């Protein structure tokens, strides 16, 4: 890998004696991998990956490589994540019931972790400006099985216009010059030029200005990048606390191999920046990252004050099209009482978009003016006088406690099913909807018709093991 000359010059000046070790680490081909367990799932004794090497700084993190074609991945038990990246969401102090925003969320590394930390309380809004990436994000969030996640496809300015002061906690994992990704993605070097970090910094300031507007007084903000560039790291945080004096930098615990931020790269030599973290590949097993944690010191206001105003409906024509018809509600209830009795959602917490039925709590914000990819948990589809449960609902279920009709399948049968084939089951089994579970993990819904479990695994997700 050929590093640009200006890059070498810049970091030789900045890192001095350490520069040679730093450049050498960027040339390493074999980089240790990591993964996280999803706390929304249960029975981890059935996970076939070794949990012998836990990561010391993330309770759900482990060293090791997981396959995207494994049962554990398909059912959302594990998420493959860089060993540095998994420290970002870890440092945000999530409390049950928090409203959390991941502003630059695709493909979902931080968001999947945040969903686990919220444990189905509060609300997680995972936002991604790029539609294609937002769809990938939604797929990754689906696999977590979280019931309280909304995926938006908004620009931060529009979000700030509609939801000012709405969120208790925000992560800005900013688009950056990606220097920390050079060894993982050699193409990142092609985009790099001397002025690139400064250009990225302008965009990061814009995004942070909106993030500040979105944060509730007394809220917490975590900012991260995967670059070594001081322009996008310490200098951005220095700019933030200078521009917004209500914000103060909180200390982040430094585990072995983690470095502190470098005050010397800022004009005012702001020593507070030592509280931030640099993850450097010559010191730490993981790609290059920078993390800062900020506290808004304004007094917290009550939920009543911070909820955005919802405009009252003016006339009948403007009636909410997302309200279920009586027939739709009856179809859902018939399915729900028979198959998922634990999910007795109130009618006000259900919404329809076209023929799709979603769980979306009445306590969450109005989606009217926002572009969304996932307006809550997709429960299923209404099709000519019947209700068909979704894959999203299947993977969100605990087969033991939340589903009354399950069929246990073997790993071989699982492999058959995810490749798009049917499975033969007992002919004595009554026809109808069942949840397929393998080793306690919810795989998919199936419809049994005379001893055959029909394939309802989404076409776009099918794979051969
Ligand atoms: C570093 S990546 C996020 C990675 C993600 N947080 C994760 O852990 O998987 C930055 C994201 O910011 C998005 N982005 C680009 N320009 C943006 C902008 N102006 N405002 C908000 N997000 C932007 C990119 O599309 C990209 O998905």
- Rounded to whole angstroms, the Cα distance separating 29 from 50 reads 23
Give nearest CA residue, ligand 1 atom 22. 104
The predicted pLDDT at position 309 comes to: 53
Using the mean position of ligand 1's atoms as its centre, give its distance from the Cα of residue 173 in Å: 7
Structure confidence by residue, pLDDT tens digits, 190-209: 889 999 999 999 999 999 99
Q: Examine the pLDDT at 414 and tell me if it is beyond 70.
A: yes
Using the mean position of ligand 1's atoms as its centre, give its distance from the Cα of residue 370 in Å: 18
Say yes or no: CB of residue 130 within 6 Å of ligand 1. yes
Token pair of 431, please? 């026809």
Say yes or no: CB of residue 80 within 6 Å of ligand 1. no
CA-based nearest residue to 110, from 142, 73, 79: 79
∠ at Cα 24 (21, 28), nearest 5°?
A: 130
CATH number for the domain whose boundaries are 312-399: 3.10.450
The predicted pLDDT at position 300 comes to: 83
Residue 89 Cα: closest atom of ligand 1: 8
Mean pLDDT, all residues of the chain: 94
CATH number for the domain whose boundaries are 405-465: 2.30.130.60
Residue 171 Cα: closest atom of ligand 1: 6
Token pair of 437, please? 């579970």
Structure confidence by residue, pLDDT tens digits, 128-177: 999 999 999 999 999 999 999 999 999 999 999 999 999 999 999 999 99
ipTM: 0.99
106 annotated ligand binder: yes
Q: Which residues are catalytic?
A: 226
C-beta atoms surrounding 365 within 10 Å:
18
Percent pLDDT > 90 in the chain is 90
CATH 2.30.130.60: which residues of the chain?
405-465
Q: Strands, E, within 81-122: which ranges? A: 99-102
Report cis status (omega within 30 of 0) of the bond before 417: no
Say yes or no: CB of residue 288 within 6 Å of ligand 1. no
Q: Examine the pLDDT at 305 and tell me if it is beyond 50.
A: no
Residue 110 Cα: closest atom of ligand 1: 8
The predicted pLDDT at position 85 comes to: 98
Using the mean position of ligand 1's atoms as its centre, give its distance from the Cα of residue 10 in Å: 26
Strand, helix or coil for residue 437: strand
The predicted pLDDT at position 320 comes to: 78
CATH 3.10.450: which residues of the chain?
312-399
Residue 304's pLDDT band, with cuts at 50, 70 and 90, is very low
64 annotated ligand binder: no
Token pair of 69, please? 């074609």
- Max Cα–Cα distance, the chain, nearest Å: 77
The predicted pLDDT at position 101 comes to: 98
Say yes or no: CB of residue 104 within 6 Å of ligand 1. yes
245 annotated ligand binder: no
CA-based nearest residue to 341, from 407, 398, 258: 398
109 annotated ligand binder: yes
Say yes or no: CB of residue 145 within 6 Å of ligand 1. no
CA-based nearest residue to 252, from 91, 105, 360, 448: 91
Mean pLDDT over residues 349-377, rounded?
97
Token pair of 224, please? 């991260």
Asked if 167 contacts 219 with a C-beta cutoff of 8 angstroms, the reply is yes
Say yes or no: CB of residue 156 within 6 Å of ligand 1. yes
- Rounded to whole angstroms, the Cα distance separating 70 from 399 reads 19
Q: Examine the pLDDT at 348 and tell me if it is beyond 50.
A: yes
Using the mean position of ligand 1's atoms as its centre, give its distance from the Cα of residue 14 in Å: 27
104 annotated ligand binder: yes
- What does residue 152 show for φ and ψ, rounded to 5 degrees? -110, 160
Q: Examine the pLDDT at 307 and tell me if it is beyond 70.
A: no
Q: Examine the pLDDT at 362 and tell me if it is beyond 80.
A: yes
Fold of 5-296: Rossmann fold (3.40.50)
- Rounded to whole angstroms, the Cα distance separating 121 from 97 reads 5
Using the mean position of ligand 1's atoms as its centre, give its distance from the Cα of residue 452 in Å: 44
Mean pLDDT over residues 306-312, rounded?
51
Cα→Cα distances 307→23, 160, 299, 369, Å? 49, 13, 16, 16
Give nearest CA residue, ligand 1 atom 1. 175
380 annotated ligand binder: no
- Rounded to whole angstroms, the Cα distance separating 201 from 317 reads 46
Residue 299's pLDDT band, with cuts at 50, 70 and 90, is confident
Mean pLDDT over residues 200-224, rounded?
98
321-351 exposure pattern, b = at least 16 Cβ within 10 A, e = fewer: eeebeeebeebbeebbeebbeebebeeeebb
- Rounded to whole angstroms, the Cα distance separating 178 from 24 reads 18
Helix (H) or strand (E) holding 277: strand 277-279
Distance of CA 361 to the CA centre of its chain: 19
CA-based nearest residue to 150, from 174, 130, 168, 127: 127
Asked if 408 contacts 425 with a C-beta cutoff of 8 angstroms, the reply is no
In DSSP notation, 124-187 reads EEEE-SSHHHHHHHHHHHHHHT-SSEEEE---HHHHHHHSTT-EEEEEEE-----GGGTTT-TT
Asked if 116 contacts 60 with a C-beta cutoff of 8 angstroms, the reply is yes
Say yes or no: CB of residue 110 within 6 Å of ligand 1. yes
The predicted pLDDT at position 186 comes to: 83
Mean pLDDT over residues 114-121, rounded?
98
Say yes or no: CB of residue 133 within 6 Å of ligand 1. yes
Residue 29's pLDDT band, with cuts at 50, 70 and 90, is confident
Residue 185's pLDDT band, with cuts at 50, 70 and 90, is confident
Strand, helix or coil for residue 292: strand
Say yes or no: CB of residue 135 within 6 Å of ligand 1. no
Structure confidence by residue, pLDDT tens digits, 430-448: 999 999 999 999 999 999 9
CATH 3.40.50.150: which residues of the chain?
5-296
Structure confidence by residue, pLDDT tens digits, 384-400: 899 999 999 999 999 99
The predicted pLDDT at position 74 comes to: 97
The predicted pLDDT at position 318 comes to: 56
Residue 102 Cα: closest atom of ligand 1: 6
Q: Examine the pLDDT at 284 and tell me if it is beyond 80.
A: yes
- Rounded to whole angstroms, the Cα distance separating 341 from 337 reads 5
Asked if 102 contacts 125 with a C-beta cutoff of 8 angstroms, the reply is yes
Asked if 28 contacts 281 with a C-beta cutoff of 8 angstroms, the reply is yes
Residue 108 Cα: closest atom of ligand 1: 9
Mean pLDDT check: name the lowest of 87-96, 302-311, 398-407, 408-417.
302-311
Q: Examine the pLDDT at 84 and tell me if it is beyond 50.
A: yes
CA-based nearest residue to 26, from 4, 49, 57, 58: 4
CA terminus-to-terminus distance, the chain: 33
């Amino acid at each position: 890998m050929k590093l640009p000359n200006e890059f070498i010059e810049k970091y030789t000046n900045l890192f001095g004696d350490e520069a040679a070790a730093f450049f050498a680490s960027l040339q390493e081909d074999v980089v240790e991998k990591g993964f996280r367990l999803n706390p929304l799932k249960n029975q981890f004794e059935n996970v076939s990956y070794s949990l012998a090497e836990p990561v010391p700084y993330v309770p759900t993190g482990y060293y090791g490589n997981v396959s995207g074609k494994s049962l554990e991945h398909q059912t959302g038990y594990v998420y493959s994540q860089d060993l540095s990246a998994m420290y970002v969401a870890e440092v945000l102090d999530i409390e049950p019931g928090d409203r959390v925003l991941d502003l630059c969320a695709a493909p979902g590394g931080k968001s999947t972790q945040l969903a686990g930390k919220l444990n189905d309380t509060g609300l997680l809004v995972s936002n991604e400006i790029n539609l294609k990436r937002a769809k990938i994000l939604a797929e990754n969030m689906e696999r977590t099985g979280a019931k309280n996640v909304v995926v938006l496809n908004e620009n931060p300015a529009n979000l700030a216009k509609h939801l000012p002061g709405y969120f208790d906690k925000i992560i800005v994992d900013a688009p950056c010059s990606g220097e920390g990704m050079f060894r993982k993605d050699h193409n990142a070097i092609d985009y790099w030029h001397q002025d690139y970090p400064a250009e990225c910094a302008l965009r990061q300031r814009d995004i942070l200005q909106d993030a500040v507007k979105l944060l509730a007084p007394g809220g917490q903000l975590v900012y991260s990048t995967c670059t070594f560039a001081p322009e996008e790291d310490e200098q951005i945080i220095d700019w933030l606390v200078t521009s917004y004096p209500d914000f103060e930098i909180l200390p982040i615990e430094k585990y072995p191999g983690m470095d502190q931020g470098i005050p010397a790269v800022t004009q005012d030599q702001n020593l507070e920046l030592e509280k931030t973290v640099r993850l450097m590949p010559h010191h730490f097993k993981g790609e290059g990252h920078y993390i800062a944690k900020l506290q808004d010191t304004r007094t917290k206001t009550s939920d009543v004050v911070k909820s955005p105003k919802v405009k009252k409906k003016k006339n009948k024509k403007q009636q909410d099209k997302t309200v279920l018809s009586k027939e739709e509600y009856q179809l859902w209830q018939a399915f729900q009482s028979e198959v998922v009795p634990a999910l007795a959602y109130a009618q006000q917490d259900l919404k329809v978009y076209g023929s799709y039925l979603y769980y979306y709590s009445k306590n969450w914000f109005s989606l009217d003016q926002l572009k969304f990819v996932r307006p809550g948990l997709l429960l299923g589809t209404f099709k000519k006088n019947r209700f068909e449960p979704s894959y999203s609902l299947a993977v969100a279920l605990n087969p033991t406690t939340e589903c009354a009709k399950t069929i246990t399948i073997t790993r071989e049968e699982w492999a058959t099913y995810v490749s798009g084939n049917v499975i033969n089951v007992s002919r004595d089994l009554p026809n109808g909807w069942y949840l397929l579970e393998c080793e306690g993990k919810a795989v998919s819904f199936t419809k049994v018709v005379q001893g055959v479990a029909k394939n309802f695994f989404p076409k776009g997700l099918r794979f051969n093991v």
